[in-house]
Structure 1
Amino acid sequence: MRLEGDRARSFTRRALLVGGVQTGLFGLLAARLWNLQVEQNATWRLLADDNRISERLIVPPRGRILDRLGRPLATNMPTYRVRVVREQARDLRGVLERLAMIVPLSAERIDEIERQARSLRAFVPVVVREDLSWEQVASIAVRSPDLPGVMLDAGLLRQYPYGSTVSHILGYVGAVSREELQQDPDPLLQLPEFRIGKNGVERSHDAALRGRAGLLRVEVNAVGREIRELERHEGDAGADLKLSLDLDLQRFCFERLAEQLSASAVVMDVHSGAVLAMVSVPSYDPRAFARGISTELWQALVADPFHPLVNKCIRGEYPPGSTFKMVTALAALEAGVATPKTEVFCPGYMVLGNARFHCWKQHGHGRLQLEQALAQSCDIFFYEMARRVGVDGLAAVSRRLGLGGPTGIDLPGEKGGLAPTSQWKRERFGVPWQKGETLITGIGQGFMLATPLQLAVMTARLANGGQAVEPWLARSAQGQPGAAADLGFAAEHLAPILAGMNEVVNGSRGTARAAALQGLGVAMAGKTGTSQVRRITKAERASGAHKRKDRPREHRDHALFVCFAPVEAPRYAVSVIVDHGDSGSATAAPIGRDIMRRTLELAPGGGPLQISGLEGQRP
């Protein structure tokens, strides 16, 4: 009996021990459940929602680009696009080939779509085309039973209503490249349908134009498939960008230059620096880039010998030729090595050592002072001025007038030209500067290079009394710039140069007298230029072959003209360069005259264009 009692007590103790352990375990489990379900409820609910809810960015509408009067130059056009889902299509290539019967798709494009679809999950839609016409949309909808996995939706496509007329200023948008994605942390760039500015103001002002992304929250299942849309917050559209450009003047300049194979022109306000027109021909249609340019068209544009993709106004570097003679004259006056009354005799050539430097007029101009030398564009006079000043003195004045470095205009890819110095040549070629090189630099030849925009800036700074005006197309919210800094040129040195430019156009012996303004009651001053693209040999000069009209085009001189008006109260500056145009006075000057005439005609009320506030209406 005693043994049985001991066994019973032992069993009871074991049962109590097991029960206590079980109770403790259940207590710990309950406490953990309380901790998870009550105390950490918010944390685990958030993690669950992260697995259940997918957040996606919504592409905002891109800001418009407007001209100075608010007329749209770049807008967004509603468009239809077609996408395909690999999972639903089953035979993806077969579906794409049937779709190609409605929407043109090359074999290369079909291969690209297949590669993109395989790199994504089977249920993720892939964009096939984004610029469908309504007829194509209707055809796809009608044949939808034969096109499984194909879906239609709406989007926005960048629209350039004036096409090639403003393409070099506006630029274009395109898909984000891998390099751009690495350089810019904006998550918008990761969206396949997002387009970024690639050139022109679309690129330089891209951050303001792109806007801020919206947010879409959708419910997804365990494998990421969309179940339903939960919430949508539209983003902020990009800011509209108003340019200084005048559309009417831009179109006139484009039409006036269109007859040339390759040419450029710039119109700017000499006081504010506002660029009113900037044209480079030939041009291209930016709409082709917005839709996705074909390989064939891209190769044709790149291979074109007249370079339609290049904005020659900021990237074309030319010897300025005789349009540089104002710089040489000003450098001589500022250095004190000449006065407006200094005379130089021109027999048609100048001898330096064993070399002979010729004037464009074979038998010379005789004895000339500064104003007549500018009016008749005497090379010998400016050879002598350059010899007295030296190349470093020429370079210093060049830079003060806006040559020899980028102007800073708000366009990407601007080149700076070249104002050579003796040190530059030694560093570049390892040889000293020669005196003969100074002479030809004095007439804008040799190493000297300038862009059409730089020549417009140079002309503006001369015309406005030596103020350091800087060119621009769009200003930020900070408003218009204050007064330009004074470059420090003496008024008595600028006056004879402006008088000489007046004689070029309005004098009886001026090289541009045939291009004088008529019928407006306003006078224009200017300077012609003809810059050589290859050296003239002694044999060619003796035979006159360098003046023959049947020379190959690539051997002909560039034709240049710069001008400002009105003479009494300068407001506008114009520069024109016609590639291989042969003669500044015969080819470029008439174009410059017509552009200046149109600029004055378009001024509201017959007065100056109202630039300061970028406001106003065309009468």
Structure 2
Amino acid sequence: MTKPQTDPKAHPRLTRRSMILGGAQLTVAGALGLRMHRMQIDEADTYRMMAEENRISMQLVAPPRGRILDRFGAVLADNRPTYQVTIVRERAGDPQKVLADVQTILGLSDDDLKQILDEMADRSSFVPITVARDITWDELSQISLNAPALPGISADVVLQRVYPFGTDFAHLIGYVGRANAQDVADNDGNNALLAMPGFHIGKISIEKAQEASLRGKAGRLSVEVNAAGRVMQSLDRVPPVPGADLQLTIDHHLQNFALARLAGQSAAAVVIDVQNGDLLACASAPTFDPNLFVDGISSKDYNALRDDPYRPLSDKVVQGAYPPGSVLKMSLALAALEGAEVGPEETVYCPGFVEIGGRRFHCWKRGGHGHISLRGALRESCDVFFYEMARRVGIDNLHAMSARLGLGQRPDLPLSGIASGLNPSRDWKLERYGTEWLIGDTINASIGQGFVLATPMQLAIMAARVASGKNVEPRLFKPQMAGDTQNFEDMGLSPAALALVHAGMTDVVNAARGTARSSRIVAEGQTMAGKTGSSQVFSITAAERAAGVRSQADLPWNRRDHALFTAFAPAAQPRIAVSVLVEHGGGGSLAAAPIARDLVLFYLNGGLPPVEAYPADQRGRMQTSLEELSAAILPTDGHTQKRRT
């Protein structure tokens, strides 16, 4: 057998090829080794963090919203636990299929599903979207039972705002609702809390004005999730900081009674403590249930509120500006006395009208009051007397006194849409209409007509300042220190002038010819002083008079005069001031004064007053009225006695 022969030159070539291939392999292996070293040693922390981010999910924890309490600790706005279902699109796989399964369990409508899908399309894939709110325990159990087949679905316990007193504090406290695009923009667009399912923010009044205090601060929850995004376990929790509780000066029993007393009317009432400015009641009727707004009010319910001619959505206490009528005579009386334009015993003759600038201005009493003093003019609300005072005082001094008493100024309160009213002046008319102020404008202003406008809140402030002689400012939040009183500055009014106006206002309610004598209080130490007012809405035309229309009662409701009354009590040592407005109520003595009397008596007696507080000839009628009110209001408790001691 012949032995194979080899080429002696091939061996060096094979050796060089092997070396080249080996070198290349070593280079690749070295590069891989270096890369592995960098990844495992040098960049280990970075990749560990990336892995943790894929495994650990960070979630915000909503803080409990602060409660709102009345002056005695009764809870006016609270939070209740409720169950909700949410979906996260990036964890759901096929969201439409998952939602179809949830629809079967919860009985959602097709419109509900469409709304959810539309919201998912508008939000980032990692943002939870609410599928259903306030579900039952049985529904929660079904969702939990089917959890393995519902990727991306979570059932959680959330706190929902609730208003235990329903309609009583709707205008005052307001309500919360889901954050919209404008809310996010107002929060600089960077508050992730606002995107959380079921998270609500204040929309009006105190809930909105005190949002920063009530909201609290979010907590944080770290959870471990699997590849499907389902939570496996909780890893770390930073608890949220609850919102601060707020305590109001409002007395929930007095507020409840005020609304019961205003029932069936378009009206407003304010009760204020003349010593410290505490607002004890701020009632606007009719009202609405703020609980309807928390998760979105239905179109049917909202339209019913919007279209109601009594305007339940409007807070008449601070948003309604009305001609104050003869209530303004308190301001004119003080301006005349302070300017020495009239003496205490000086009289003016009232024949029932006066000619000024070629125009006849009538007194409400067609036959006139004869010779009458300032005290008597307040008592009987003589227009001619105050026409004369207006000519002497002039609009500049009347404007200045009305401003001192709070007219034309917005009170510093956390309420929505506060109107400033209007305390007209020469400069205002020139700027507004481009015309000079006329003597006829002054005459109209002297009886609270013409350009003058005031809110029930402003009229309560006026009454409190007249009662105390101090620059009373209203407040809604109870101070932290018990017994705290605000040190209001003295208004600098003459004690003699104040005493004379007080005497005239006491006569209004208690003297034989007082315009509100039928609303007097006969209980010892509870005498009320006040001033009636009626503001004209429309004049009865000549054609209507020819057709037999002679009085307010003959007119349609929305053309009748507004009825007003302001008061303070007890007259000798004032503790509270009250203002009442009844839209289209006619005369202040008939429609507004009786309401003010009942509010005063309720406060001073710590609940419904004894029938003996009323004049003897009214007790039968008042007994029936008190029984009806007793059935309509909340039962009183020990809180009502605390405010007296």
TM-score bracket relative to the smaller structure: 0.7 to 0.9
**Which amino acid in the other structure matches residue 497 of structure 1?**
V
Q: Which range moves more in the overlay, 537-546 or 438-447?
A: 537-546
CA contact (8 A) 1:89 1:150 kept: no
CA distance 1:600–1:544, change in 2 (3 Å):
farther
Partner in structure 2 of residue 200 of structure 1: 205
Instruction: Please report the RMSD computed on the Cα atoms of aligned residues, expressed in angstroms.
Output: 3.6
- The 5 Å alignment of 1:374-413 reads 374-413=378-417
The CA distance in 1 between the partners of 2:643 and 2:588, in whole Å, is 35
Q: Is the 8 A contact 1:131 1:291 kept in 2?
A: no
Structure 1 match to 2:271: 267
Q: For residues 497 and 135 of structure 1, do their structure 2 counterparts lie closer, same or farther at Cα, with a shift above 3 Å needed?
A: farther
TM-score w.r.t. the length of structure 2 is 0.84
Counterpart secondary structure, 1:390: helix
CA distance in 1, matches of 2:195, 2:128: 16
Would you say 1:318 and 2:344 are equivalent positions?
Answer: no
Of 490-499 and 368-377, the range deviating more from structure 2: 490-499
Rounded Cα–Cα distance in structure 2 between residues aligned with 1:135 and 1:53: 31
Structure 1 position 156, deviation (Å): 1.5
Contact 2:152 2:229 in 1 (8 A): no
Correspondence 1:193-592 to 2 at 5 A: 193-220=198-225, 226=231, 228-260=233-265, 262-465=266-469, 467-475=470-478, 482-537=486-541, 545-592=549-596
Structure 2 CA distance for aligned equivalents of residues 28 and 90 of structure 1: 48
Question: Which residue type is aligned with residue 231 of structure 1?
Answer: D
Post-superposition offset of 1:430? 1.3
Q: Corresponding residue for 1:610?
A: none
Q: The residue matched to 2:76 in structure 1 has which SS?
A: strand
Q: 1:476 to 1:108 in 2, by over 3 A?
A: farther
Compare 220-229 and 511-520 and name the one that shifted more: 220-229
With over 3 angstroms needed to count, the CA separation of the structure-2 counterparts of 1:35 and 1:489, relative to structure 1, is: farther
Equivalent residue letter for 1:512 = A
Tell me, yes or no, if the aligned pair for 2:581 and 2:592 is still in contact at 8 Å.
yes
CA shift, 1:91, in A, is: 4.0
- The aligned amino acid for 1:72 is V
Amino acid at match of 1:259: G
Deviates more, 1:30-39 or 1:262-271: 30-39
**1:609 is matched with which residue?**
none
Q: Matches of 2:478 and 2:75 in 1, distance apart? A: 17
SS of 2:327's partner is helix
Of 404-413 and 129-138, the range deviating more from structure 2: 129-138
Q: Given the superposition, is the C-alpha separation of residues 32 and 335 from structure 1 closer, same or farther in structure 2, using an over 3 Å criterion?
A: farther
Q: 1:461-504: per-residue Cα shift (whole Å, max 9, x none)?
A: 11112x11111111576995640122222222211111111110
Q: Deviations over 1:295-341 (max 9, x none)?
A: 22122212222111111101011100011110111122223322323
Does the aligned pair in 2 maintain the 1:270–1:571 contact within 8 Å? yes
Q: Which amino acid is 1:380 matched to?
A: V
Separation (CA, whole Å) in 1 of partners of 2:524 and 2:192: 56
Contact residue 270 and residue 460 of structure 2 kept, 8 A: yes
Maintained 8 Å contact 1:96/1:110: no
Distance 1:126 1:502, change over 3 A: same
What SS does the corresponding residue of 2:284 show, helix, strand or coil? strand
The question of 1:182 aligning with 2:185 is answered yes
Structure 1 residue 76 and structure 2 residue 79: aligned? Answer: yes
Aligned partner of 1:65 in structure 2 is 68
Structure 1 residues 33 and 390 mapped into 2: Cα distance closer, same or farther (>3 Å)? farther
* 2-structure distance, mates of 1:141, 1:235: 26
Percent of counterpart pairs with the same letter? 45
Once the two structures are superposed, residues 31-72 of structure 1 have per-residue CA deviations (whole angstroms, 9 ceiling, x without a partner) of: 776666545544554454344433221111111111111011
* C-alpha contact (below 8 Å) 1:81/1:131 kept by paired residues: yes
Are the equivalent residues in 2 in contact too, given 1:502–1:524 (CA < 8 A)?
Answer: yes
3-state DSSP of counterpart to 1:327: helix
Structure 2: distance between partners of 1:335 and 1:99: 79
Letter in 1 for 2:533: G
Q: 1:164 maps to which residue?
A: 167
Task: Give the equivalent residue in structure 1 for 2:627.
Answer: none
Sort the Cα spacing of 1:90 and 1:29 in 2 relative to 1 into closer, same or farther, 3 A.
closer
Determine the C-alpha separation between the residues in 2 that align with 1:179 and 1:375: 53
Give the SS at the match of 1:166. Answer: helix
Structure-2 change in CA distance of 1:71 and 1:475 (3 Å): closer
The 2-side partners of 1:351 and 1:617 are apart by 52
Distance 1:311 1:179 in 2: 23
Distance 1:124 1:542 in 2: 70
* Cα distance in 1 between the residues matched to 2:44 and 2:346: 94
Q: Secondary structure at the match of 1:344?
A: strand
SS at match of 1:545: coil
Alpha-carbon distance, 1:231 to partner: 1.8
Return the offset for 1:406.
0.5
Between the aligned partners of 2:70 and 2:86, the Cα distance in structure 1 is 35
- 1:121 CA displacement: 7.3
The CA deviation at 1:100 is 6.7
Deviates more, 1:530-539 or 1:241-250: 530-539
Counterpart-to-counterpart distance in 2, 1:416 and 1:120? 41
Unaligned 5+ runs, structure 2 = 1-7, 611-639
**AA aligned opposite 2:321:** E
Separation (CA, whole Å) in 2 of partners of 1:120 and 1:373: 68
> Which of 107, 111, 115 does residue 112 from structure 1 map onto?
115
Contact 1:95 1:148 in 2 (8 A): no
Equivalent position SS for 2:554: coil
> Residue 332 and residue 123 in structure 1: after superposition, are their counterparts in 2 closer, same or farther (change >3 A)?
closer
Cα separation, partners in 2 of 1:133 and 1:249, compared to 1, 3 Å: farther
Cα–Cα, structure 1 residues 192 and 81, in superposed 2: closer, same or farther, change >3 Å? closer
Query: How far did 1:162 drift?
Result: 0.8
Task: Give the deviation of 1:576 after TM superposition.
Answer: 0.4
- Using the size of structure 1 for normalisation, the TM-score is 0.87
Instruction: Name the CA shift for 1:512/1:303 in 2 (closer, same or farther; >3 Å).
Output: same
Contact in 1 for aligned 2:129/2:197 (Cα 8 Å): no
Change (3 A) 1:232 1:533: same
Q: 1:335 to 1:603 in 2, by over 3 A?
A: farther
| Equivalent pairs, count | 600
Q: Which residue of structure 2 aligns with residue 611 of structure 1?
A: none
Match of residue 595 from structure 1: 599
C-alpha distance in 2 between matches for 1:502 and 1:432: 38
Cα deviation for residue 396 of structure 1 reads 1.4
2-structure distance, mates of 1:290, 1:497:
48
| C-alpha separation in 1, matches of 2:580 and 2:293 | 28
Secondary structure in structure 1 of the residue aligned to 2:592: helix
